[in-house]
Amino acid sequence: MTRNPFKPTSLRLAIACAALGLSACAVTPEALTPEQQLAEANEDRRSMFESQEPVTGAISLEEAMARAVKYNLQQRLGLMQRALEDNTLSVSNLNLLPQLAASAGWKGRDNVAGSSSESVTTGQESLEPSTSSDRSSRDANLRLSWNVLDFGVSYFSAKAQANKVLAAEEARRKVVADIIQQVREAYWQAASAERLQPEVQRALGDARNALQQARQTEQQRLIAPLESLRYQKGLLEMVRQLEVVEGELAVAKSRLASLMNLPPASQYSLVQPGESSYTQPALAYNLADLEATSMVQRPEIRSESYQARNAVLETRAAMLKLLPGANLFVGANYDSNSYLVNDNWADAGLQVSWNLFNVLAYPAVKRSGEARLQVAELRRQAMRMAVLTQVNVAWREFQRSSQVFARSNELQQVQRNILRQSESAYASQAQSRLERVRTATETVLATRTRDRAFAELQVAHGAVYQAAGLDPLPERIAGRSIAELSRSIASNAVRLDQGQGAIPAGIAAAQQAPYGVASSSAAAGTPLIAQAPMQRQVLRLDMWESLGSLRGAELVPVERVNDR
């Protein structure tokens, strides 16, 4: 009779343990409770607005930009992404080191690990059962190994990660430029609305009083009903237009507060621009300068160049994986087995392995690498075309905005003169109250139109710099306070307005090698390069090898560019 090796109690215990283990592996979704959501919201709100310098006075344009650059969450996210790529690069560099692995352990069994031998010829037992290991033992080893193939792949991965770090910095530059542009637009919209608010309130009060008086006149039947209704309709139209202008202030200031990372409902004031501020901004660059600068300064183009580098590195890493792999190792070992003659020993070796079928994969890997590189180059060229289009559009938009602002400014000045004449006529009772209210409303609307045109002009002016890749921030900032950052932004703006942007030497000369239709503005303006009386010295720079349209251009020494 065969004896059952398992007892019923042991079997039931094993089943219970298995069921308990399986139930522990089951995971059920747990939704956030309202208390947890509220606590999380309060913590996020506290983290969003803590450690910020308080607003102590009227905010200028430079301070608004400084607060946006320092505290805006998108900017902080860009900095964190750059820090993440830096840390990933440090990890990639550590992967280049050999592997140093240490291990230790204990093992045991409930009986002796014995064995016997059998004769291959006779099939009979040739050695009585014996053992050569203890029932329990401890072992430890320390091994240094280095795989040549893994090192090569890790090297290319680290190089690619270094390019990602640079691309992350370019992405941060783009975020800063976008934030600065949004702040510029929101600031001028809010500042002009706040500046015009007293005049809007005064005109709105006059219109509402005139409307109330007109309704009383209608009730008293002092004038014809049709004439009274037309009078009220004109006043209501003016009240509606003034209320629209009044409502724009709160929206613009809330948007600006969000960009500066202030609570949207914050109460703050802006530096009021005077009439002298509404002047045509200077633009010290011609279209050829801006196009050439954008080819090397725009963060999007630089990012594409880094991606093209990584395309080459990916191909090299794929090629390297087709080669034989060599693994070098050396180590020290210990085993507590009492049957061993030497319980401490060192070993070293070399192991080479190669998948011979990799030879068949070489043509496909090569074609894939070439296609990847062609795609990267085409992406970069498409980005250059898009950037050139943006520069030209920004240039034309600035010219159009300049004309619109000049005409709006003239209309506003004429309307101001009309208002003064209307006030005099009303004071001498030569004009009705409706005409005076209408003239005041038209003056407010003309001023608002002029202010909007000026805001659009400022945005177009900043868009030209952004399209050319001219950073609103200097390369180095003295301090981290809002005041120091504001001064740096102001000084950098003055530098750009004076034409001291970062146009690399020789770019203007490279424009002489046409990549398309010559720019009419460059041809009609002052020559970019003064002709040297001596024989010119031709320079060739390797940096142009990745610039597509400027590849192989001859560069001459620049003696004078735009009288600078």
> Coil, strand, or helix at residue 172?
helix
Q: Which position has the token pair 């075309």?
A: 385
Q: Which position has the token pair 């291959």?
A: 120
Angle at 247 between CA 246 and CA 248, to 5 degrees: 95
**Model confidence over 321-344: pLDDT tens digits?**
888 888 898 999 999 888 888 889
CA atoms 234, 209, 204, 432: torsion sign: positive
3-state secondary structure 52-109: CCCCCCCECHHHHHHHHHHHCHHHHHHHHHHHHHHHHHHHHHHCCCCEEEEEEEEEEC
Q: How far is CA 448 from the centre of its chain?
A: 34
Q: What structural domains and CATH numbers belong to the chain?
A: 58-96+141-496 (1.20.1600.10)
Angle at 408 between CA 403 and CA 409, to 5 degrees: 100
Sheet hosting strand 344-353, strand order edge to edge: 99-108, 136-147, 325-335, 344-353
pLDDT higher than 60, residue 409: yes
Higher pLDDT, 449 or 531: 449
Half-sphere exposure of 538 (CA within 13 A, CB side): 4
Higher pLDDT, 157 or 554: 157
Cα 188 from Cα 179, distance rounded (Å): 14
Cα 278 from Cα 80, distance rounded (Å): 39
Cα 241 from Cα 29, distance rounded (Å): 54
Quote the DSSP letter at residue 429: T
Q: Which residues contact 399 (CB under 8 A, 6 or more apart)?
A: none
pLDDT of residue 1: 40
Q: For the chain, what is the mean pLDDT?
A: 78
Q: Which residues contact 225 (CB under 8 A, 6 or more apart)?
A: 218
The closest alpha carbon to 67, from 481, 491, 463, 462, belongs to 481
Which band of pLDDT confidence, cut at 50, 70 and 90, is reported for residue 99? Answer: confident
The closest alpha carbon to 200, from 233, 256, 235, 249, belongs to 249
What is the β-pairing status of strands 125-131 and 99-108? unpaired
Higher pLDDT, 563 or 523: 563
**Model confidence over 422-435: pLDDT tens digits?**
878 877 776 667 77
The closest alpha carbon to 472, from 462, 461, 480, belongs to 462
**Model confidence over 349-386: pLDDT tens digits?**
998 888 888 888 888 888 988 898 899 889 889 999 99
pLDDT of residue 24: 59
pLDDT of residue 208: 76
CA atoms 272, 275, 276, 281: torsion sign: positive
* pTM as predicted: 0.70
Cα 259 from Cα 246, distance rounded (Å): 21
DSSP class per residue in 180-243: HHHHHHHHHHHHHHHHHHHHHHHHHHHHHHHHHHHHHHHHTT-S-HHHHHHHHHHHHHHHHHHH
Which band of pLDDT confidence, cut at 50, 70 and 90, is reported for residue 216? Answer: confident
Cα 216 from Cα 210, distance rounded (Å): 10
Q: How far is CA 144 from the centre of its chain?
A: 42
